[in-house]
Amino acid sequence: MRIETPGLVVAVRPHGEHGAIVRLMTPAHGLQAGYVRGARGRRLRPVLLPGNAVAAVLSARTEAQLAQASVEPVHSRAPLLAEPLPAAAIDWVCALTATVLPEGQPYPRLYDALDGLLAAIEAAPAASGWGAALVRYELLLLAELGFGLDLSECAASGATDDLVAVSPRSGRAVSAAEAAPYAGRLLPLPGFIAGGGPAGWGDIIDGLSLSGHFLLRDLVTDRSATVAEARGRLVERLRRAAGGA
């Protein structure tokens, strides 16, 4: 097995005295793991950071064997790791991707969305510029893994307009008329998710509440407490940013 591919670093785990097992999100081969010699050395340590883009070669005698990997830097987002909000966002989306995706299965839409989200985090002067992209990535990940929400019509009436909430049990949309008797028991559905358009701070926080409910129920569950904690830190920082905006 030999793969030459671009990749996004999503996880790095020390292995042995100087090496590490690195997980990369790739466009055509999905999540790929490989052992990188010298990963903790002076040259490669700043390259193998979550969120960085690399060019990788992975090779193994059999598909069941852990691949040996060599990487070259393509684009570094290391400066963002010194900024609390961008660092928390990169930590979360990379940890989420590395935790919930099965290895070796291609998810080209997720690769493109993750690449776009990381670029948005890097380019936007404030979190309000990439918050909506983060919510959309989380919802796309749910959909790609078979847990997508049904936001096409009201679960109760079949109406396709004025959808304002989502059932926390079924993941189906609910119209304003049908949601009224259940105020406080449904999850808010922000307009930018239901119909596109811009998202304000309130919409972003509501969107994170929506996607987070289903992520933590259906995907993260008990796999890794540290992954859930990473999201909790990010959401708390976003709430503080929204309050100070």
Portion of the chain with pLDDT greater than 90, in percent? 85
Model confidence at 245, in pLDDT bands (50, 70, 90)?
low
Residue range 201-210: average pLDDT? 96
> Measured between alpha carbons, how far is 33 from 68 in angstroms, rounded to an integer?
9
Q: What is the pLDDT of residue 229?
A: 87
Residue 139 to residues 70, 88, 97, 151, 226, Cα–Cα distance (Å): 32, 19, 12, 11, 20
Q: What is the pLDDT of residue 223?
A: 64
Model confidence at 224, in pLDDT bands (50, 70, 90)?
low
| pLDDT tens, position by position, 89-117 | 999 999 999 999 999 999 999 999 999 99
Compare 119 and 198 and report the one with higher pLDDT.
119
Instruction: Please state which architecture CATH assigns to domain 2-76.
Output: Beta Barrel (2.40)
Residue 203 reports pLDDT greater than 80: yes
Could you give the strand order of the β-sheet that contains 163-166, starting from the edge strand earlier in sequence?
173-175, 163-166, 187-188
> Measured between alpha carbons, how far is 158 from 160 in angstroms, rounded to an integer?
6
Q: Decide: 151 and 170 in contact? Cβ < 8 Å.
A: no
Residue 194 reports pLDDT greater than 80: yes
> Measured between alpha carbons, how far is 64 from 25 in angstroms, rounded to an integer?
18
Task: Locate the domains of the chain by residue range.
Answer: 2-76, 81-151+189-244
| pLDDT tens, position by position, 51-62 | 999 999 999 998
Residue range 77-95: average pLDDT? 94
Compare 225 and 219 and report the one with higher pLDDT.
219
Instruction: Please say whether the structural domain 81-151+189-244 has been given the CATH code 1.20.120.
Output: no
Q: In a 3-state reduction of DSSP, which class is residue 139?
A: helix
> Measured between alpha carbons, how far is 210 from 193 in angstroms, rounded to an integer?
10
